[in-house]
Each structure stands twice: as C-alpha cells, then as structure tokens.
C-alpha cells in the first residue's frame, strides 16, 4: 500500500505487539474446533469466555437520564492508532481492536462520525480494497467485514469496517481443515439472476441455509468499479428482503439501508447476507436451550464465537443444528 513507508502487515503487527506489551490491548485466547453443517460446510467454532467480561454500557434506572454511549472512534487512543489515510487529507484511520480474540484484528473507521446504518460510500470501499490488496501483496490474506443494522451484530454506530488476517484465523493446527466461507461462495458455479434481463448474476452456495449474494472481483477491477459491485449487491438484497414476490425493478436507495446485513470481502470478491435476527438458540442433548448463537460479519468467513461452555459443548455434540441456526438468523434462501 503506497500510503505507508512500512508494509501494512508490519505496521499493524508492530502496533499490536507494542499494545500488548503496554497492556493497552486485552487479547483473549480461544479454544478452536471445526464443526460441519448437515451439508458438510465447515465452520470454525471458537469458545471465547472472555466475551462475557467485555465492558458493556450500564443501564440507567428508570428515573435517570440515559447515559450516552462513548464513541471509541471519536478520539482514538494513540496507543491503538495505526495510521490515518489517505495522506494529506485523511478520511479514515486505522486502529487496533482493543479486545481482540484474533491476533492483529484492526479497524478502518471514518474520521467524521458517519452512521453505520447508511450506505457505504466510495471512499469507504476504496480504502478497504486498498488494504486488502496491500496485505495480499505481502503473500498473506485479509478478510474484511461490515455489520449494519440492529440484527447484524454491529456494536458501534460510528461507521467502521473490520479486518482479520486469514492466517491468524486459521490457527496453528493443520489438522483443523478450514477455509473462509466467502471463498466457497465466490467459487460456486451456481448463480442466480437479478430481476432484469441485463442484471448481474449473483454467486450463491446452495448448501448455505440463509440468503446470500456474491460477486467476484477481477484482478484488473478498477477501484471505482468496487463501489458498483457493492451497489448491485445491496440493491439486489433490498429486492429480496422488502418484496421478493412483487418487486419488478431493482431497489435503489440512498442514505439509511432499510434492512440489516453483513458484508464480507476479500480481494477476489464481495458477499452480502441480509439478516432477520442477531442470534438463534443452541440446544443441548435434551433439547434444552444452552445459549444463543450470535453472528456478525465473521459469519461470511465461516466462524462462530460462543461465550459459554454449554453452547460450546452443545454445538460440538450436535453440529448439524447449525443449519437451523443459520436459517433463523438470515433470510431463508427459499425466498430468493
């Protein structure tokens, strides 16, 4: 990435190691297992008890004013701040996740406070794709994701995209065969057409129980075309979510997106998954609710993080309940 004198991976890694040494980051190791859906889709299952300890905003009493949530991106901690981009007139900054579960987890946030629920803009996607390309030029891979809306797993209203190094997600155990789910979607030979004859044909993975739509990104794709890929995907999702049976022309909207969704992106493609619920129950061997499986944009990487031992045990014992969970959190693929 030409914005930096130091390679992006080194820039992030050095800041991360310094943050750990200075105790500015709270890294939490996780237990990792690979489970499979009924149709043999592999999902990473990560047991993260530290998620229960992550600070949450206290609820005010009924007679007290509601405490305004602190915006961690309004004035980023210098110990976590990686860089501001582009040089000269920065529109975004890179900052480490203060509570990483995966090493070198970092964030791209807007300098100006823009809403997370609004459409992404050209410069958001331009900077995202530059980061993906820069990381891959160093022989590594980066997964980007975006959470928008109340059912997406979004935790902050200030616009931001998140980045996870694939090599950090992969873990050290070579026997745990896994690859990002987005790769299988983009490589899928199955396509579904949009509503108009000239509309794009969207990549889908029939074995994934919730609606999702992907488009590949060619190596020679211009930065400007990345935004058109996003708009084609988001407009098509709008058609599916709002009126799949009656809408005859693609949705076209500006400003706030009227549905929740997750976006996943790698250098070779982009996928959007509309959401109807943030989570769904996990059941133990007796059919008793063991917890709630909640997803954010790591869904499209094929990763689920759980907070308690009961959920961890229940999903390892009966992994095929993932099909019901995925069906429940998304828009059923039969409606697409």
pLDDT tens readout for residues 217-229? 988 888 889 999 9
Q: How far apart are CA 29 and CA 100, in angstroms?
A: 9
Instruction: Give the pLDDT confidence score for residue 334 in this predicted structure.
Output: 44
Quick check: is 95 in a domain?
A: yes
Instruction: Give the pLDDT confidence score for residue 246 in this predicted structure.
Output: 40
Quick check: is 60 in a domain?
A: no
Instruction: Give the pLDDT confidence score for residue 199 in this predicted structure.
Output: 59
Quick check: is 142 in a domain?
A: yes
Instruction: Give the pLDDT confidence score for residue 1 in this predicted structure.
Output: 44
Query: Nearest 5°: CA angle at 333, between 297 and 259?
Result: 50
Quick check: is 61 in a domain?
A: no
Q: How far apart are CA 99 and CA 160, in angstroms?
A: 16
Instruction: Give the pLDDT confidence score for residue 336 in this predicted structure.
Output: 41
Quick check: is 120 in a domain?
A: yes
**Which residues fall within 8 angstroms of residue 63, CB to CB, at 6 or more apart?**
none
Quick check: is 63 in a domain?
A: no
**HEC per residue, the chain:** CCCCCCCHHHHHHHHHHHHHHCCCCCCCCCEEEEEECCCCCEEEEEECHHHHCCCCCCCCCCCCCCCCCCCCCCCCCCCCEEEEECCCCCCEEEEECCCCCCCCCEEEEECCCCECCECCCHHHHHHHHHHHHHHHCCCCCEEEEEEECCCCCCCCCECEEEEEEHHHHHCCCCCCCCCCHHHHHHHCCCEEECCCCCCCEEECCCCCCECCEEEECCCCCCHHHHHHHHHHHHHHHHHHHHCCCCCCCCCCCCCECCCEEEEEEECCEEEEEEECCCEEEEECCCCCEEEEEECCHHHHHCEEEECCHHHHHHHHHCHHHHHHHHHHHECEHHHC
CA-closest candidate to residue 85, choices 109, 57, 67, 62: 109
Instruction: Give the pLDDT confidence score for residue 3 in this predicted structure.
Output: 58
Quick check: is 65 in a domain?
A: no
How many separate domains does the chain show?
1
Spans of the chain below 70 pLDDT: 1-4, 53-67, 172-175, 194-199, 243-253, 332-336
Domain span at 268: 28-52+74-190+201-239+259-329
Quick check: is 254 in a domain?
A: no
Instruction: Give the pLDDT confidence score for residue 222 in this predicted structure.
Output: 80
* CATH number assigned to the domain comprising residue 155: 3.30.428.70
Instruction: Give the pLDDT confidence score for residue 303 in this predicted structure.
Output: 97
Instruction: Give the pLDDT confidence score for residue 50 in this predicted structure.
Output: 80
Order across the sheet with 31-36: list the strands: 31-36, 42-47, 303-306
Instruction: Give the pLDDT confidence score for residue 255 in this predicted structure.
Output: 81
pLDDT in tens, 141-162: 999 999 999 999 999 999 999 9
């Amino acid at each position: 990435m030409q914005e930096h004198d130091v390679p992006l991976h080194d820039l992030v890694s050095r800041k991360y190691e310094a943050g750990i040494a200075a105790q500015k980051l709270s890294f939490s190791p996780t237990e990792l297992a690979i489970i499979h859906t009924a149709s043999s889709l592999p999902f990473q299952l990560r047991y993260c008890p530290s998620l229960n300890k992550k600070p949450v905003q206290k609820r005010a009493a009924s007679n007290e004013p509601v405490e305004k949530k602190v915006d961690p991106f309004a004035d980023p901690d210098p110990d976590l701040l990686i860089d501001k981009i582009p040089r000269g007139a920065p529109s975004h900054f890179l900052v480490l996740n203060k509570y990483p579960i995966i090493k070198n987890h970092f964030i791209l946030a807007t300098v100006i406070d823009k809403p997370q629920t609004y459409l992404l803009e050209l410069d958001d996607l331009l900077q995202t794709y530059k980061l993906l390309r820069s990381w891959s030029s160093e022989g590594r891979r980066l997964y980007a994701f975006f959470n928008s809306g109340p059912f997406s797993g979004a935790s902050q209203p200030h616009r931001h995209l998140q980045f996870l190094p694939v090599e950090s997600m992969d873990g050290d155990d070579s026997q745990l065969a896994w690859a990002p789910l987005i790769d299988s979607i983009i490589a899928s030979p199955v396509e579904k057409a949009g509503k108009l004859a000239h509309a794009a044909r969207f990549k889908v993975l029939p074995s994934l129980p919730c609606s999702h739509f992907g488009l590949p990104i060619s190596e020679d794709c211009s930065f400007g075309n990345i935004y058109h890929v996003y708009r084609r995907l988001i407009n098509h999702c709008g058609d599916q979510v709002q009126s799949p049976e009656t809408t005859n022309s693609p949705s076209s909207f500006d400003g706030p997106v009227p549905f929740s969704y997750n976006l996943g992106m790698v250098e070779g493609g982009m996928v959007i998954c509309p959401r109807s619920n943030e989570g769904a129950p996990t059941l133990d061997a007796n059919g008793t609710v063991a917890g709630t499986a909640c997803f954010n944009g790591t869904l499209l990487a094929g990763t689920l993080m759980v907070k308690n031992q009961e959920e961890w045990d229940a999903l390892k014992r009966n992994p095929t309940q993932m099909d019901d969970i995925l069906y429940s959190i998304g828009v059923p693929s039969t409606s697409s």
